[in-house]
A = this chain, B = another copy of it.
Amino acid sequence: MRLSVREFEALARDRLPRYAYDFFAGGADDEVTLRANENAFTRLSLVPRVLRGHRERDLGTTLLGARIAVPVVLSPTAFHRLAHPEGERATARAAAAAGTVMIASMASTVPVGDIAKAGGDDLVLWLQIYVQPDARITRELVGRAEDAGCRALVVTVDSPVFGRRERDHRNGFHDLPPGMYCENMRDLGGQRGVRDIEMVAGLSWDHVDELAAMTGLPIVLKGLMHPADAVTAVAHGVSGLVVSNHGGRQLDTAAATIDVLAGVASAVGVPVLVDGGIRRGTDVVKALALGAAAVGIGRPVLWGLAARGGEGVSEVLALLREEIDRALALTGCASVHEVTSDLVREARC
């Protein structure tokens, strides 16, 4: 068994063509935020508690009514078939086996219905959505999510326009290779074929309200960083938030997510997740200490998938599970709910 998530990154780099690796690995502009997301964890220290041991730690928690076995969900990432022929199907199986939420990307290369089927009854599936300019298209996508049995919609709000990833430009990577498509965008609005996903520059709270009116599913906003927006989100009835800067792929020099998490989490009552740069069990414990209900991982899933398909994703999840378990034990926490803010302090730099 691999010893760290980083080893999967190395394996993925070995196996993937350059353009694909770079698509997964890269960030916007100078990749300042990409690095900051990871480094910010190193600059937080843990102050463990002792002699509060329990024979076993309970890593489970509840998210929007669903019980999950580890406080780590799969953040939505595009194009899993670029990492492995089985694509999102393999990912779904691994998520189900690990007992956690998979947030399928709207830009998945397998349709959400097939992802759901591959995951089976055990999978808690959410669909991530970019609101489309034509509300009817959005509604149809929501319908597909409902039909697939998704239990929440995750609306990505950090992308009113595309961020610019220089690596993709340098590699000339602008389209999926032949035979791969954004399958959720197929045959929408009464037209055959695959539509492009569009960004809506005018994305606003009205869109959130409209979406809420379309569905009974709980709505989670992903890509929020500012406490004031968190408060507004709750006023608009959203059920959860993901503090995220899109893994450093949208606004470069955006703050590291872990550095703004506490501000957001303390401003609202709904569950707050965070993603960006989570690579170790101790990162997860730090996020919990700063108020996260759970964390999301993006690239680690893709690395696992590229390295060994669904098994790789399972290994990544198992590794993190084991690390979280150890970190909880070593900080004196019997469960994720016992992780308190005094366990974390800023490292003297």
Q: Which A residues form the contact surface with B (CB < 8 A)? A: 3-4, 29-30, 32, 36, 40-56, 157-161, 163-164, 166, 169-170, 200-205, 207-208, 221, 223-226, 228-229, 232, 245, 250-256, 259-260, 280, 282, 286, 323, 326-327, 329-332, 342, 345-349
* A166 & B3 in contact (Cβ 8 Å cutoff): yes
Interchain CB contact (< 8 A) of A228 among B3, B49, B205, B226: B49
Residue of A51, A163, A251 ringed by the most chain B CB atoms within 10 A = A51
Interchain CB contact (< 8 A) of A226 among B41, B48, B53, B280: B48
Question: Quick one: given A4-B166, A201-B56, A253-B42, are A48 and B225 in contact (CB under 8 Å)?
Answer: yes
Chain B residue nearest to A1 in the complex (CB): B169
* B326 & A164 in contact (Cβ 8 Å cutoff): yes
* A229 & B50 in contact (Cβ 8 Å cutoff): yes
Chain B hits for A170, CB < 8 A = 3
Q: In the complex this chain forms, how many copies of it are found?
A: 4
* B282 & A330 in contact (Cβ 8 Å cutoff): no
Q: How far is the CA of A301 from the CA of B254 in the complex (A)?
A: 26
Question: Quick one: given A52-B204, A226-B48, are A250 and B42 in contact (CB under 8 Å)?
Answer: no
* B224 & A253 in contact (Cβ 8 Å cutoff): no
* B346 & A51 in contact (Cβ 8 Å cutoff): no
* B256 & A160 in contact (Cβ 8 Å cutoff): no
* A161 & B346 in contact (Cβ 8 Å cutoff): no
Q: How far is the CA of A119 from the CA of B139 in the complex (A)?
A: 52
* A204 & B280 in contact (Cβ 8 Å cutoff): no
Q: How far is the CA of A201 from the CA of B55 in the complex (A)?
A: 5
Chain B residue nearest to A251 in the complex (CB): B330
Ordered nearest first, which 8 A-B pairs have the shortest CB separation? A45-B255, A251-B330, A53-B203, A50-B157, A53-B160, A53-B202, A161-B329, A55-B202
